[in-house]
Chains A and B, each alone.
Chain A
Amino acid sequence: MNALIAKDVTKIYSEHTALDHVSITIPEQTIFGLLGPNGAGKTTLIRIINQIINADSGEVLIFGEKLRPNHIEIIGYLPEERGLYKKMKVGDQLLYLAQLKGLSRHDAMARIKVWLEKFEIKDWWHKKVEDLSKGMAQKVQFISTVLHEPKLIILDEPFSGFDPVNAQLITEKILELKANGSTIIFSTHRMETVESLCDHIALINKSKKILEGPKKQVKESYRSNTFLIEHRGNHFTLPAEKYEIKAQTKIEEDLFSTTIKAADGIKGNQVIRDLIDITELYSFQEKLPTMADIFIGLVKADGDEALRKHLQEV
């Protein structure tokens, strides 16, 4: 089953179109990366899912059901612009936010205790938020997002404000939540996060979705038959009709790294065969595009209608 399906969602503000017939499908129990430059429309889409605003047209289905008010109880939302009541105590704050999500006071109490223990911050209950550091407050904020055990968790730039240690901690918790059955939507610019965590991605640019699919498949489709080899001795020539040498760098005395683009139809094995005869091969790997490469490439090319059409067909 799909956790979320958006069909032709459109939102128009007086001056501009925030979302232009955007459709996405988010399979259950996956981590879905919602990518796109600033102002592309990601936040608008997220707000529509959270029922903070309504779409002008189109439809959103959550676990097969049309969006309705009590769905907010199964969604956990960590906005990019987030904050807490500064004068409130950590415990009271979590209790309040959990109750707003429909938890009973009693259940909320029990779960807060569990989560505070998980983060080893049991003694924070009576601390005021204004006395916490930014990273500490972010932990509290994260707990408030997942306290009601939402089936769909939406995290907008979740790692901002975390040091690497805590970012790692949060990553672990996110994977744990996924393992326990939650679906997670990530909205982020951090490509390394996407690279390591996301199963599926969608790219939104200028209010339109320009790419969607499982990460592996997307990367696969952007293979350019380019290989990275390390070898001893830099004097070799390859038949120009089959190969193009893109770059060559010297790693150390007599050890070189070369990027080779092979013509269509030439597979890795063939490349190795061709190379073995002419140089001493140290390492060989296919150079897959990084998510950052794809992201930047697509957004840059988005002006070019023809290219975009081509890419959507892929």
Chain B
Amino acid sequence: MNKVWLIMQREFLNRVQKKSFLITTILVPLIFPAIIGVLVYIMKKEAESAKAETVQVVDESGKFVFENSKRYTFVPLSMPLEQAKKAYNETKDFALLYIPPFDLSKPEGMVIYTKENPSIEKVGGLESILQDRIRDLKLEEYKIDKETLKGLKVSVNLKQINLSETGEEKSSNSGILYGLGFGLGILIYMFVLVYGIQIMQGVIDEKTSKIVEVIVSSVKPFQLMLGKIIGIASVGLLQFTIWIILITVLSTGVLGYFGLKMPQKQAMEEVTKQMADEDVKEAMSQQNSKIDETLANLSQIPFGKIAFVFVFYFLGGYLLYGALFAAVGSAVESMQESQQFQFPITLPLLIGYLGLFMFILRDPHGPVSFWLSVIPFTSPVAMVGRIAFDVPNWELALSMVLLVGGFLLTTWIAGRIYRVGILMTGTKVSWKVLIKWFLLKG
């Protein structure tokens, strides 16, 4: 065991001391806050620089009274359209809006003249002003006042509650669960692939640099394989931990720098600012209760359990596939040569990944979801995607036991191929050859 520790230590230190490790470990988390920062920066700049656009209006219908707003300044003209067009051309104003006389039941013929192609947003803004006014006019025509209209508005929110076997009620929020399952599943998928390939690369390097025979004259090939797999796993765990910490710290930091709080809170404040009148307050309180509910739901999600399950499957899946990657690395002499084996061994992982979208997130308790999350080859992605949806304990236990069994099995198989493969050079490797190596006695 002492030797496995030595090998592990070397694999770990060797990778961690590399410049590329330092760079990816620091740069990747920078990307997220950088994107947020850039977006927030652009939004702020835009908001500051946005001055009201001047819109000249020729209103032949006489039905409109335009109020100047933050976005638009209206200049009513009382001249025929042709004359107005000429006059508009000599100004630097944003647009000329022409409203012909029209029938309320068929409001058409309105035209906006601009010098440049206007953004959809700006045209849309004008359109909604016109629409609102026409709607108000129609309401008047139908003799409906605004109060009545308000009374007609109904809003229904289904509160989701899971009844557990013990009859205990639990609020749930499938949106959050979906997001959680989706994110965690993909993380595991990526982790297993990225670090699995690192194992393979490491084994190929040892084989092609010919150091392997020196090493296996000091340690058992199995110890070498195990040390490498564990060493790289610790690199991965360290990198992930740093990422999570950095992303959290930096994201908060960037938002703080721009004087903003977390996105939801910001949205809330925006809403408060924009709306002031009575009925909005009511909507507000409704909104508030919705947020409270979401928070309550969040607090009901067993994060501790999810974190434990995540780490367990994270390591289990990695070990299971890592051993297979090591076996492939031992058999081939270059990354290109490894392609033919890479696909078949990662296929189950891919199935788990696809199953995540096709079954687990849609129907977490269906039979396919059950099998995907129990079979060791797909369970790392599938079970982690499913765990947020309250998996029965016996299923979780079964899946975990099978995963442990699974990685012991693949490690054993891989070890037998590995011990032969690393000393074989110049062999054309096929599946048949791998099986032969596996069966070869010591």
Give me the interface of A with B, judged by CB distance under 8 Å. 13-14, 47, 50-54, 56, 69, 72, 75, 77-79, 81-88, 96-97, 99-101, 141, 144
Contact = CB atoms under 8 A, between A and B. Distances in A.
A50 B220 CA distance: 11
Q: Give the bracket for the number of chain B residues in contact with chain A.
A: 20 to 34
17 contacts: A14-B436, A47-B423, A52-B213, A52-B221, A54-B442, A56-B441, A69-B220, A72-B218, A75-B217, A78-B214, A81-B213, A82-B213, A84-B214, A87-B14, A88-B14, A100-B215, A100-B218
* Top 9 closest pairs, chain A to chain B, by CB: A83-B210, A100-B218, A54-B442, A83-B209, A79-B213, A77-B217, A50-B217, A83-B211, A81-B210
Interface string B401-442: 000000000000000000000010100000000001000111
Contacts of A100: 3, 6-7, 215, 218-219
Given A96-B10, A99-B6, A53 B442 contact: yes
Contacts of A96: 6, 10
Interface string B100-137: 00000000000000000000000000000000000000
Contacts of A87: 14, 18
A87 B14 CA distance: 9
Interface in B3-39: 3, 6-7, 10, 14, 18
Q: Identify which of A69, A72, A144 gathers the most chain B CB atoms within 10 Å of its CB.
A: A72
A85 B211 contact: yes
A25 B128 CA distance: 100
B81 interface: no
Nearest to A54: B442
A79 B217 contact: yes
Given A52-B423, A53-B442, A100-B219, A83 B6 contact: no
Interface string B193-227: 00000000000001001110111111111000000
B6 A79 contact: no
A83 B214 contact: yes
B307 to A, nearest CB: 35
Interface in B218-246: 218-221
A69 B3 CA distance: 13
A80 B13 CA distance: 29
A167 to B, nearest CB: 20
A43 to B, nearest CB: 9
A137 to B, nearest CB: 11
Contacts of A47: 423
B215 A82 contact: no
A85 B18 CA distance: 14
A82 B214 contact: yes
B71 to A, nearest CB: 60
Contacts of B213: 52, 77, 79, 81-82
A97 B214 contact: yes
B105 to A, nearest CB: 79
B176 to A, nearest CB: 45
Contact of B214 (A79, A86, A88): A79
Contacts of A75: 217
Contact of B209 (A14, A53, A86, A99): A86
A84 B14 CA distance: 14
Contacts of B209: 83-86
Given A79-B210, A85-B206, A99-B6, 12 more contacts: A13-B440, A54-B441, A54-B442, A72-B217, A77-B214, A79-B214, A79-B217, A81-B213, A96-B10, A97-B218, A100-B3, A141-B214
